Amino acid sequence: MKETWDKTMKESAGAKECARAEDLVAYLYHEATATERNDFESHMRQCASCSEELAAFGGVREAITEWRNLSLGSFASPSLEANGARVSPTTNPNPGRSALAALRQFFALAPLWMRAATAAAVVAFCALMAIAVVHFLQRPQTEVVEKQVKSGYSEQEVEERIAQALKREKESQVEVEAAVSPERVADSEQPNARPQVNLDRPGTTRVATKGKQQPARRNRVRPSTELVSTDYLPFTASVDEEKLPSLTDLVNDAN
């Protein structure tokens, strides 16, 4: 057989190409119509090149077929035959398979890089979903807090609070003035005394500075922060001050 094959190869190797190469191939693979077959057979009787090539190509085909049968015959089908599935072009051997099983089988075919990429994509997706969920859960709480803060002080409440604060301020001022008005007269006799300010309040002490003509330094302990606002309320008119002559009157008297 080997000698015959080699001889065929050698005989046809030097053959010149005929213009009817495509007809030769169609004839070789039995894809020519009956008319074409008859026509080419009559051509081959006159064309030695085509006859030799047809024989040589037949030998090549035999060799390829032998290789194909030996190689593919020794290999199992890549995956499905191993799983017991039947390879059939026309029938469905396992019609009851679930979509999950089909997907599992499909990914069983996937190479390693594809599986790794899929796993990475799944992890990334899960991370994004977790971030989105956390963000979604935090956002409404913030809004609630903001609403609570806003709703804690209504306009009416603010006005009420201001009114109460003013009332307390006025009351404390009146009480202080009533309690300390005699002392103010004594203080006003001292040259450097602050004439207009009534600084004494409950819980304060006055330091006596006889002979030194120094203003009495306050050494007071503020009872509460509410009093701070009254420390710097000078020129608060009192009854005594109203009795003092005005500057205009003094100028007129001098004239």
Which residues contact another protein by CB under 8 A?
A: 2, 5-6, 9-10, 12-13, 17, 21-22, 24-26, 29, 31, 53, 56-57, 59-61, 63-68, 70-75, 77-81, 85-93, 95, 97-100, 102-103, 105-106, 109-111, 114
- Angle between helical axes of 21-28 and 48-74 (0-180°, round to 10): 40
Spatial contact of 203 and 149, defined as CB atoms under 8 Å apart: no
Kindly tell me which of 14 and 140 has the beta carbon lying closer to another protein: 14
Kindly tell me which of 72 and 178 has the beta carbon lying closer to another protein: 72
Kindly tell me which of 57 and 194 has the beta carbon lying closer to another protein: 57
Kindly tell me which of 100 and 254 has the beta carbon lying closer to another protein: 100
Spatial contact of 33 and 53, defined as CB atoms under 8 Å apart: no
Kindly tell me which of 21 and 145 has the beta carbon lying closer to another protein: 21
Q: How far apart are the first and last CA of the chain?
A: 158
Residue 250 token pair: 């003094």
Which residues are 205's β-sheet partners? 219
Kindly tell me which of 17 and 157 has the beta carbon lying closer to another protein: 17
HSE of 201 in the Cβ direction (CA atoms, 13 Å)? Answer: 19
| List of residues 6+ apart from 203 with CB closer than 8 A | 220, 221, 222, 223
Tell me the one-letter amino acid at 38: N
Kindly tell me which of 105 and 196 has the beta carbon lying closer to another protein: 105
Residue 92 token pair: 């469905």
Spatial contact of 12 and 55, defined as CB atoms under 8 Å apart: yes
- Angle between helical axes of 21-28 and 34-44 (0-180°, round to 10): 120
The CA distances from residue 240 to 170, 182, 236, in Å, are 20, 10, 11
